[in-house]
Structure 1
Amino acid sequence: MIILLFAALAVFIFLGLPIGLSLAGSSLIYILVSGHIPGLVVIHRMVGGVDSFPLLAVPFFILAGNLMNSTGITERIFGFATAVVGWMRGGLGHVNVGASVLFAGMSGAAVADAGGLGAIEIKAMRDAGYDTDFSIGITASSSTIGPLIPPSLPMVIYGVLASASIGQLFAAGMVPGLLMAAALMVMVAWYARKRGYTPANKFALRLLAHSFSRAFLSLITPLLIVGGILLGIFTPTEAAIAAVAWALFLGTVVYRNLSWKSFVAVSRESMETTVVILFVVASASIFSWILTENRVPEQFAHMISMTTDNKIAVLLLINLILFVVGCFMETVAAITILVPVLLPLAVGVGVDPVQFGVIMVLNLMIGLLTPPVGMVLYVLAKVSNVTFEQSARATMPFLVPLLIVLMLVTFVPQFSMWLPTALYR
């Protein structure tokens, strides 16, 4: 019956059905064929999968990110990043990474980064004479920083499923996110020397002061979100609501560039994205419940432990599974399905659930850059007016620094556990 479940899922995906419908449809087929589970269980389990207070953060963080993209906040962040690091060799490449770090503290979603900042970054780099493959590659890879630096939508979903502290998960992602940025900036420096890229501008205190004054209120957003959570002023869910309120305040009162028509369009886009994500969560919850009821996670863990109990080998195998799944499955669905399967295995070899959350999210973010399902590649192909294949080829070299960081986070727990231990334990 489990073989039937996975076979049905594979067929639906091959036929091109959305992942949410594929998960729900294969689960329904299993229930109907097995005959010992009432069909209404599908509905109850799907509703139960999204009936969670922390998941309220999802629509609000999506809305906050879309509001920031539509009110010029991303453009101001890009200008400030240009003043800070644009004077370095390969300046706009470093600006690309720096802007993604700043935007990461606001949206928590890689696709929002790629769709919002990506269009600005690629246009600026093309106008400055940078090669298209380099512009797309660094834009795609830097967008994956978003879900590591708090706030993070994947971390929220992982925390709900793993019963882990979302505050600790947010703290755990900070250092790995900055490590990703540093690794990508080293890659930019190498490309700049090899291809002769010049700085975007000379360092000037006047330019820095001007760009900082323009972006100051925008830059408060990550401090508002992360600082409020760390100081205990509000929960991650309430932080998402605060981010929306602040973005609305900036767009309507300060910058005054958010019209009613724009707000309606942003709200509609946010609702559509939210429905897609939560439907995937709901569908994956019934799928993972079937796996749990059939003790598939226990059997999988037992099979691995019978093969090897070496921690390094187990972690390498887990990363390989996550990497392969990330190539074919959307992040939210992969987290919802694989947490019940892989978390017990990781905990069994001594990995903290918070550290494992960082490993899983980072690995699946790399999956956003790999065909055939890499969503960031599709977004950048659209905004840069190139084919999906060109976008994929341009991004491949930038997987190297990201995979190196993944190995460091996997085998050196201090990178992810130092900050949550200092703040919460």
Structure 2
Amino acid sequence: MAETSTGVAAGAHVSANSSDGVAAVLESLDHTPKRVGSALVRPLEVIAACLLVAIVTLLLAGVTSRYVLSIPVVWIDEAASICFLWLAMLGAAIAIDRNEHLRLTLFVGMLPERLRGLAHAFGLLAVATFLAVMTWPAIDYVIEESYVTSAALNIPSSYRVSAIAFGIIAMLALVLTYAVRTCTLRDLLISAAVIGLVAAAFFLLTPVFKTLGYVNIAIFLLGVVGLCLVAGIPIAFCFGLGALCFLSFSTTVPIFVMIGRMDEGMSSLILLSVPIFVLLGCVLDATGMGKAIVDFLASLLGHVRAGMSYVLLGSLFLVSGISGSKVSDMATVAPALFPEMKRRGYQPKELIALLSTGAAMAETVPPSIVLIVLGSVAGVSIAGLFTNGLVVATVLLLVLAILARWKARGEMLKGVRRAPFATIWKTALVAAPALVLPFLIRSAVGGGVATATEVSTIAVLYALIVGIVLYGGISWRTFYGMLVETAALSGAILMILGTASAMAWALTQTGFARDLATAMSHLPGGWISFMAVTIVVFMILGCVLEGLPAIVLMAPLMFPIAKSLGINDIHYSMVVVTAMNIGLMTPPVGIGFYIACKIGNVEPDEAMGAIWPYLLALLAGLAIIAYVPSFSTIFL
């Protein structure tokens, strides 16, 4: 089956010590031994935790100085950017150690047991090869940037970009150490021979490749990347290997350029909100704020027919507004609702179908990390995405609720009574501080009061204070674990963005994007045909690549075409994100579907047949959203 080590993606994250056992559930998705706590990694974890605290402190200081004291401090963004790149690269190294980089294991799992060790060794050596080749260009990039002085702090830019070289070297050391510890010498030698033979063949064929034009895209950016995905190599390094082979063997562009593109892909100030919202989701898990919302909705709607389905969908809608993570959402909602729903006659497979499609529905609810990344990559207004994403999610929520009501016509309600007003009032009081947070985030960003990055820091501070005062608090040990987990998951996310940006740049430099735009702009049926193609493309990419890499790879190609056809950026963004998340939950490949099965403790084969009506309902909702632009642009 398709798996992730810990469910990264689209902003997926978990608390290292979550009370609902999210981390334990998701770790069981992967059977590779973990390497936490090695002598090399412990110092990196401490530094990464300190960097995350420094970023939050700097951003809070910037918000305070700007909005309270009316004295903007110009160097804060620059200092936060330096810390951010170091956090990203240290986090990527920690994620290597924890095995938390996203990958597809569907095909490796089909191999006979004797070949899995060989595939494991091949994957590790392929990653090591990429990192080894990129080491000197990364060092050279540091030397080049030493001649550039930062605008505000007036220091060499090499202080910032040294993070890339250090992170690459640290990851290389960890990968090689793990390969020696876990692979047999025979498997390592065979894998090294295969990689060497392929590299030699590509080198000898270089003069031929340089005459093939767009065929090289199929060979390297599709073929090499596809084979690496099938081999179970982490997606970030699949993109890196594809771009590296493409530039090395079919062009004269120096590999040095890839480091610059990776730097650009990871360093946008908008992306500063990614680790902060990941940390916010960890706080949500640890304090039980999400469960408080679930309990309130259950007391309010649990007595009506299909009421628990409404509670599940409504909880995913509201909790997503706090955590920004599908995995965290599902792991918060499922344990709280599944026992009662089973008592009422719901089949486990129906619960998984509703849970997974409900999570897909909630992806456009802010603060979605996917929306933040999309805004950064495609240059779309984050405020516009946050504001109108609610309307799109509401359309999908209504479609799923209608199907859930029809499915619940045989629900057993014997003995189910309306909750007393006192119970509703009590759960409302407990949930009120948590309910305020999603509306705070949406109104602040949507109203232009603050940026997504600024709001994320305020939200973390609010959640920490509320969690400590009203929800039982967080121990220092738990908090440190959350910081390290946030660093690792953020590093995995940002590494994907970096290598995908390099691959997307390589693709656009061929002129393919220009020719693709010309071809698609002349499709019969105009913008409607283009929307149909978009839905198919992003559903397929959502199945295989998950959200973030698909967006970084395809947004530079597809958004200019959409704009040339007169399609509004916000409207197109909502179609892209929704299609991608439907693909993410579509079996037999969709990664999110298997995560939902694991969280709900249901066999994928059992749930697979039940999910199709819900996916068709989401497709119907997507068709409405795509055909009626006003749903996506009503608040512009």
TM-score, normalised by the number of residues in structure 1: 0.94
Amino acid at match of 2:272: L
Cα distance in structure 1, aligned partners of 2:607 and 2:323: 23
Correspondence for 2:274: 58
Tell me the CA shift for residue 195 of structure 1.
4.8
Q: Name the residue aligned to 1:327.
A: 543
CA offsets per residue over residues 62-102 of structure 1, 9 Å max, x none? 11112101211111011011122212202211110111111
User: Offset of 1:124 from its aligned partner?
Assistant: 3.9
- The alpha-carbon distance between structure 1 residues 372 and 66, as it changes in their structure 2 partners (threshold 3 A), is farther
* Structure 2 CA distance for aligned equivalents of residues 70 and 197 of structure 1: 33
Q: CA deviation at 1:201?
A: 4.0
Aligned-residue offset at 1:308: 2.5
- For the Cα contact (< 8 Å) 1:88–1:94, is it kept in 2? no
Distance (Å, rounded) in 1 between the aligned partners of 2:536 and 2:413: 35
Give the Å deviation of 1:382: 1.8
Structure 1 residue 26 displacement after superposition? 0.7
Label 1:270 to 1:121 Cα distance change in 2 as closer, same or farther (>3 A). farther
Shift of 1:199: 8.8
What residue number does 1:286 align with? 502
Change (3 A) 1:199 1:230: farther
SS of residue matched to 1:105: helix
Is the contact between residue 297 and residue 341 of structure 1 (CA under 8 Å) also seen in structure 2? yes
Give structure 2 stretches of 5+ with no counterpart: 1-215
Aligned alpha-carbon RMSD (Å): 1.8
Residues 239-291 of structure 1, C-alpha deviation per residue, up to 9 Å, x if partnerless? 11122112211222222232222222322322222111111111110010011
CA distance in 1, matches of 2:632, 2:286: 33
Q: How does 1:351-390 map to 2 (within 5 A)?
A: 351-390=567-606
- Aligned residue for 1:216? 432
| CA distances 1:161-197 after superposition (whole Å, capped 9, x unpaired) | 1111110111121111111111111111101104556
Q: Which amino acid aligns with 2:218?
A: I
> CA separation of 1:393/1:58 partners in 2, compared to 1, >3 Å: closer, same or farther?
farther
Distance 1:198 1:397 in 2: 27
Structure 1 runs not aligned, ≥5 long: none
Corresponding position: 1:18 with 2:262:
no
Q: Alpha-carbon deviations, 1:148-173, whole Å to 9, x = none?
A: 12221111111111111110111121
Higher mean displacement: 371-380 or 354-363: 371-380
- Which residue number in structure 2 is paired with residue 404 of structure 1? 620
1:307, distance to aligned residue in structure 2 (A): 4.2
Q: Does residue 2 in structure 1 map to residue 2 in structure 2?
A: no
**What code does the residue aligned with 1:55 have?**
L
In 2 relative to 1, CA 268–125 (structure 1 residues): closer, same or farther, beyond 3 Å?
Answer: farther
Structure-2 separation of matches of 1:305 and 1:380: 38
Distance (whole Å) between structure 2 residues aligned to residue 199 and residue 153 of structure 1:
42
Instruction: Name the CA distance, whole Å, in 1 between partners of 2:343 and 2:517.
Output: 52
User: Residues 287 and 82 of structure 1: is their aligned pair in 2 closer, same or farther, counting only changes over 3 Å?
Assistant: same
Higher Rg of the two aligned structures: 2
Shift of 1:394: 3.2
Q: How does 1:29-68 map to 2 (within 5 A)?
A: 29-68=245-284
Following the alignment from structure 2 to structure 1, what is the Cα–Cα distance between the partners of residues 620 and 319? Answer: 23
Task: Say yes or no: does 1:125 pair with 2:341.
Answer: yes
Mapping of 1:186-225 within 5 angstroms? 186-196=402-412, 201-225=417-441
CA shift, 1:396, in A, is 2.2
Of 367-376 and 281-290, more deviation after overlay is shown by: 367-376
Within a 5 Å distance, the mapping from 1:154-193 to structure 2 comes to 154-193=370-409
CA contact (8 A) 1:103 1:146 kept: no
1:267 pairs with 2:483: yes
Post-superposition CA distance 1:290-325 (Å, at most 9, x none): 111112221112222344352222211121111122
1:228 matches 2:444: yes
Letter matched to residue 153 of structure 1: I
CA spacing shift, 1:32–1:119, aligned 2, 3 Å: farther
174-183 or 370-379: which moved more? Answer: 370-379
Q: Distance in 1 between matches of 2:608 and 2:259?
A: 38
Corresponding position of 2:285: 69
**Secondary structure class of the residue paired with 2:322:** coil
Amino acid across the alignment from 1:246: Y
Tell me the distance in 2 between the aligned counterparts of 1:352 and 1:306: 18
> Which residue does 2:299 correspond to in 1?
83
Q: Would the aligned equivalents of 1:138 and 1:398 in 2 still touch at CA under 8 Å?
A: yes
Q: Aligned in 2, Cα 1:412/1:189: closer, same or farther, shift over 3 Å?
A: same
What is the deviation of 1:346?
Answer: 1.6
Match of 2:557 among 337, 341, 352: 341
Separation of aligned partners in 1, 2:424 and 2:475 = 30
Letter in 2 for 1:179: V
Amino acid aligned to 2:581: M
**In the alignment, is the contact (CA less than 8 A) between 1:80 and 1:211 conserved in 2?**
yes
What letter matches 2:461 in structure 1? Answer: A
Q: Match of 1:403, as an amino acid? A: L
Moved more, 84-93 or 332-341: 84-93
Partners of 1:200 and 1:261 lie apart in 2 by 42
TM-score with structure 2 length normalisation? 0.64
- Deviations along 1:363-399, whole A, 9 cap, x unmatched? 1111121134423222222222222333433322211
1:226-265 residue pairs with structure 2 within 5 A? 226-265=442-481
Q: Percent identity?
A: 28
Q: Which moved more, 1:143-152 or 1:386-395?
A: 386-395
CA distance in 1, matches of 2:569, 2:278: 26
Are the aligned partners of 1:108 and 1:148 in contact in 2 as well (CA < 8 Å)?
no
One-letter amino acid of the counterpart of residue 388, structure 1: P
